[in-house]
Structures are given as C-alpha cells and as structure tokens.
Structure 1
C-alpha cells in the first residue's frame, strides 16, 4: 500500500532561527522553502537525502486555530510539545564534539547502548534530538 515516509513535522517558534540551527549548526540542507500564502513551507533534510524531509512548521493557522496555536507555543517553550528526531551518524563521538563546539544545547553525552552509541540535544525550541551511531 505505502512505499515510503517522505515528510515528518516538528513545531518551531521561528522558521528563520530553525533554518539557522538545522542548516547552520546541524549541517542539514534546505529541501523546500516556499511561501504558500497561508504559510511558509520550510523543509530540511540530510544532505543528499531529499527522500525524507522534516517540515519546520510554526504553530498557527491554517492548521491550528490561534487559541490552540498559543497552547502549542507554550508547550513547545517548555520542551513538552513532543517534537522528537533521531538522526544517525557514522561517528557519534566526533559529531558530539563538532556540535558541542558550535554551542548546541547537549542534553546527554555519548553513551554506549545495546543498539550503538548515542547522545541527546535540544533545538532552540525544546525539541528533543538523538544522534545515534548504530551497531553494525
């Protein structure tokens, strides 16, 4: 029936700040940046992998009524909006050092797990991100 997951979505409070973080600090590339009139469609993806994009969406109309959007923004600010990404890397410890050097908000240092090595970080809006080096 389905052949792929092409897009995922997380909420951000400011798309320009999100672009600076996801592209400028994490090294992702812009998949799409289009003014649709009623919203800005802004996606990023792992370089060379446009088959899986992340929509960086500001909470608000037309998807959410303004009252609900205010509640989502409040939850996002507290880190409780549920946004979560897991990205893989070939060298977790090197990626950790690179991102730490860029001032990224690291929430957990690289740790050995049954599935590999991973560490945690947060984007400027409180979304949780795990960076994982899977075991071969």
Structure 2
C-alpha cells in the first residue's frame, strides 16, 4: 500500500485571525480560500510541501451536528481542548523565537520530554493546540 497524509482538518472561528497566524506566524502558504453560505474554509501548508495541507474549517459545517453538539464544540474550542496537530522543525529554539515574535499563545516553552522528544506548544487563534517537535 502507498498511503500518505494529504490533509488534516482544524476548526477556526475567525478567518482573518487564522490566516494571520498560519501565514504570518507559522510561514505557511495559503493554498485555497473558499467562502460558501456564510462559512469559510482556508487551506494552508508549509512551503515546499505541496502534498501536505491543513484545512481550517468552520466547525458548524459538519453535517448532522445538533445545536447542543455545536455548543459543546464552541465551548471546547474556547478552552483549547477540541483539536490539535503536531508539527516538526529542525531548529526548535529558532522556531519558538519566531512564534513568540508573532505573538503566538505559548502553552509550553521548548523542553526535553521524558519520552525522548524536544518540543514546545502554542495555541492558534481558535484554541487548537499545536505541538512542535524538533527533528533529529
């Protein structure tokens, strides 16, 4: 089998803030920007990696959600407990410095974890947890 990761989905609740964070703070490319029925999908990805993307989507767009489920999702996003993604970089300290300069919401400064990785964590404007680990 030949399977790769094409895209991952993260919710957003403010398209302008999402674009500013993923483009300006993380340095990702904006690959697609679609508005439909008052909702907004934004596809971003790292330069030089056209086959891997993150789709920032309106959480309410999921078919079949009840009003109660939408409320729970909004509450979890506000607390930063709904979604997350792990990214990687060759130079964690340099990346972290750039994140701080971009006003990222720092959750954890770079640290050597007891399970063998060095990583840090920030939240995007929607509260999604973004862990960034250093590759060796």
Residues 64 and 47 (structure 1), Cα distance of their counterparts in 2 relative to 1, 3 Å cut: farther
- Measured in 2, the distance between the counterparts of 1:64 and 1:14 equals 22
Unaligned runs of 5+ in 2: none
Structure showing greater relative contact order (alpha-carbon pairs closer than 8 Å, 6 or more residues apart): 2
Q: Is the 8 A contact 2:29 2:44 kept in 1?
A: yes
Moved over 6 A (4+): none
Shift of 1:118: 1.1
TM-score when normalising by structure 2: 0.86
Unaligned runs of 5+ in 1: none
State the partner residue of 2:25. 25
User: The residue matched to 1:5 in structure 2 has which SS?
Assistant: coil
TM-score when normalising by structure 1: 0.86
- Measured in 2, the distance between the counterparts of 1:50 and 1:63 equals 28
Compute the RMSD of aligned alpha carbons: 2.0
Shift of 1:39: 4.4
Shift of 1:36: 4.7
Q: How many pairs are equivalent? A: 134
Residues 131 and 61 (structure 1), Cα distance of their counterparts in 2 relative to 1, 3 Å cut: closer
User: The residue matched to 1:110 in structure 2 has which SS?
Assistant: strand
Q: Is the 8 A contact 1:87 1:132 kept in 2?
A: yes
